[in-house]
Amino acid sequence: MNENNHVQQRMKELEELINYHSRLYYINDAPIISDYEYDKLFYELVGLEEKYPAFASADSPTKRVGGEALDKFEKVEHAVRMGSLSDVFSYDEIYDFVERIEAALGHGAVFSVEPKIDGLSVSLEYRDGALTVGSTRGDGLTGENVTENLKTIKTIPLSLTDAPALLEVRGEVYMPRKSFEKLNARREAKGESLFANPRNAAAGSLRQLDSKITAGRGLDIMIFNIQRTEGVSFDSHSEGLDWLEGLGFHVIPYREKLSTADEIVKKIEKIGELRNSLAFDIDGIVIKCDGLRERLEIGENTSTPKWAIAYKYPPECKPTKITDVVIQVGRTGVLTPKAILEPVKLAGTTVSAATLHNIDFIRERDIRIGDTVYVQKAGDIIPEVVSVEMKDRTADLIPYEMPTVCPSCGEPVSRDDEAATRCTNPSCPAQLERGITHYASRDAMDIDGMGPAVVRLLLESGLIRNIADLYRLQVDDVKNLDRMGAKSAKNLIAAIEKSKTAGLDRLIYALGIRNIGEKAAKSLAVAFGDIDALAAATKEALVAIPDFGEVTADAVVSYFSHAQTGELIESLKACGVLTTYETEKADAVFEGMTFVLTGTLPTLSRDQATAVIERHGGKASTSVSSKTTYVVAGDKAGSKLAKAQKLGIRVIDEDTLLEMAGESK
């Protein structure tokens, strides 16, 4: 492979990785890597695009701010773009930044240096002193209207005295560490899943449809910018923040005006020493040119200002000792080793365990029980072992080996080609608990009220032994269980009954077949139409499905080859669970056509527009290619529209789509 091909391949890989992790972070509020790791990927792509501009794609993630408005909230168009900042990771980059600013101005500059709160960015708009609209950043141009939820935050003024006719400010909603600890304590007591960190908890709390839930979460806000005003102006950013503080806003603390890179570095180190003692999480320091006229002179890049940067702290890493290694058995039978640690304070919380992933991870780092290891939190979320302190190792410590039998059921385990060690017993109790929990989850059969704690109760009480037993439960069976009661039992049984009609695609996903996610499950449902046809499908038939490879096909064939699977399917059918796929296809007017949606449509959400297309036999794709039949464009359509025009693909609007489908708004 020549250098150009290698570069293009790496740029494509980076785009896919960044888009995947952006969605986890901004939309799902469930990041799996650290900001530090994400930023490294992002700026590797930036560097390659600068060096090889001809290879940069039109819809590169470097050309936009991550995130988008969710359909459950009304959209808000931002009058002033809520952009992001360029990140730096070294002091050398700070010195370079200061030199660039001074060179651009032809003289020295004053900088406002402020902590970067780790939360959710929002805009607050006031008219004649009254809070009228509060919205999330979204994609920077369009956000979510969360006004009612923001009003529950006690530090947000609902009205202002002596305010201008129009004032829009930007701030960061966050969950103080004490609020986070109280929230997770309450959730643990109820048997609910815990939030990974305060940032995720804040984002999830602000997006609640019921503002009463938000009100009970103890959120706070720090205001850090004036977006726009009428009737009042300032010479500097700091002057504006001081004025906001006088109006009663909770303004970003620990800010300071500094003039040299040396002073800025000292400030970063000082805040870094205080970081773990603060009442809130920060992930860096923002350095901004303080003068507003100077900002105009310096200018902006396509998506970030030239007059500001954000220094990101590297993940905190501390030593501790591994006291034991325990094995967890997942729903697909994978045995995952977990290190039990001497408790250590890390990124604001106490860490007492860390995943070791698999035996290869352990062998690569030569991790042994009794070792002193260095631990950090990936993204201040997931504790991980970084390395072993070899000088502290004693001669009696022996290499760790995975067990040869499952710790849950005692059956033999095997090593597969994915470096995973698996239990070979499909009836393993540990797999069963996690499997039923997955079956009941929101994206699967969506059985409201059946979380891990309830599943455990039902299994321990002997009321269920498999998934099908859920549909045989009665109110009287469960009302006397711990923390249930008659009303909860009635609601649970109603939710179980409702899940019978979830549909074949959800059922396939809920069964927990290896390598089968939601998208693959729907493809299988569409391709085979009912569960019996799928169970009888050959590997060749499965590989023929678009985007299905041999590994996925083998996993499906293997799952349905077990006698227990056949018995389970028959039991589910006997209980009335829908095992056929109903497309609700009104006609086939779009048969053989591929549509791509871009921008914000006037009345339809993305899901609704996709449903219209699929209902009439068409296919909705996420990328424009020569095989695309139509591009449906809405407001603020971007690179997909440009690519369609370049390829000569017909572009239509929402009205035309509905007219072609024979449907009304």
Output the CA angle 609-615-620, nearest 5 degrees. Answer: 50
Q: CA of 365: how far to CAs of 340, 360, 430, in Å?
A: 16, 9, 28
Which position has the token pair 């930023």?
39
Given the structure tokens 């597969």, which residue do they identify? 416
DSSP state of 193: P
Residues 6 or more apart whose CB falls under 8 angstroms from that of 545 comprise 523, 524, 527
3-state secondary structure 126-156: EECCEEEEEEECCCCCEEEECHHHHCCCCCC
Q: Measure the CA–CA gap between 141 and 81, rounded to whole angstroms.
A: 5
Mean pLDDT is lowest, of 301-310, 325-334, 578-587, 616-625, for: 578-587
Q: Is the pLDDT of residue 11 over 50?
A: yes
List the domains of the chain with CATH numbers. Answer: 3-63 (1.10.287.610), 76-312 (3.30.470.30), 317-415 (2.40.50.140), 429-499 (1.10.150.20), 504-574 (1.10.150.20), 594-661 (3.40.50.10190)
CB-based contact 402:336 (threshold 8 Å): no
Q: CB-based burial of residue 476 (10 Å sphere; 0-12 exposed, 13-18 middle, 19+ buried)?
A: exposed
- Whether 546 has a pLDDT exceeding 50, the answer reads yes
**What pLDDT score was predicted for residue 59?**
64
Query: What's the number of CA atoms in the CB half-sphere (13 Å) around residue 164?
Result: 14
d(C-alpha 199, C-alpha 349), whole Å: 13
**Lookup: tokens for 153:** 């935050």
The top-scoring range by mean pLDDT among 68-72, 178-182, 291-295, 348-352 is 291-295
- What end-to-end distance do the CA atoms of the chain give, in Å? 52
Q: What is the mean pLDDT of residues 6-29?
A: 76
pLDDT band, residue 27 (cuts 50/70/90) = very low
**What DSSP element (H or E) covers 614?**
helix 606-615
pLDDT of res. 29: 55
CA distances from 303 to 84, 283, 289 (A): 7, 21, 17
For residues 401-424, give the mean pLDDT: 82
More confident residue, 346 or 510: 510
Q: What is the pLDDT of residue 104?
A: 94
Show the tokens assigned to 95.
């010195």
Where does the pLDDT of residue 73 fall: very low under 50, low under 70, confident under 90, or very high at 90 and above? confident
| Catalytic-labelled residue, pool 40, 51, 116, 345 | 116
Instruction: Read off the pLDDT band of 331 (50, 70, 90).
Output: confident
Half-sphere exposure of 22 (CA within 13 A, CB side): 19
| Chain centroid offset of residue 224 CA | 24
Distance from chain centroid for Cα 325: 29
Model pLDDT, residue 645: 87
Nearest to 403 by CA among 356, 351, 347, 336: 336
Q: Is 432 helix (H, G, I), strand (E, B) or coil?
A: helix
Report which of 149, 250, 157, 151 is spatially closest to residue 206, judged by C-alpha positions.
Answer: 149
Number of CB atoms found within 10 A of residue 215's CB: 17
Per-residue pLDDT of 608-665, as tens digits, reads 788 888 888 888 887 788 889 999 998 877 778 888 888 889 999 999 999 898 887 6
CA distance 43 to 45: 5
pLDDT band at 69 (very low <50, low <70, confident <90, very high): very low
Query: In DSSP terms, which residues pair with 112 in a beta bridge?
Result: 257, 288
CA 177 – CA 49 distance, rounded (Å)? 39
Q: Which residue has the higher pLDDT, 599 or 192?
A: 599
> What is d(CA 286, CA 256) in angstroms, rounded to the nearest whole number?
11
Using one digit for the tens of pLDDT, what is the confidence trace for 183-241?
A: 888 877 766 667 777 888 898 888 887 788 888 899 999 999 999 999 899 999 999 99
Q: Are 34 and 380 in contact (CB under 8 A)?
A: yes
Res 23: pLDDT: 64
One-letter amino acid of 480: N
Is 480:457 a contact under the CB 8 Å cutoff? no
Q: Is the dihedral of CA 242, 244, 245, 251 positive or negative?
A: negative
CB-based contact 397:412 (threshold 8 Å): no
pLDDT for residue 380 is more than 70: no
Q: Which amino acid does the sequence have at 600?
A: T
Mean pLDDT confidence for 524-534: 89
Cross-sheet strand order for the sheet of 220-230: 130-136, 120-127, 166-174, 220-230
116 assigned to active site? yes
Lowest mean pLDDT among 49-58, 305-314, 393-402, 507-516: 49-58
pLDDT score of 456: 86
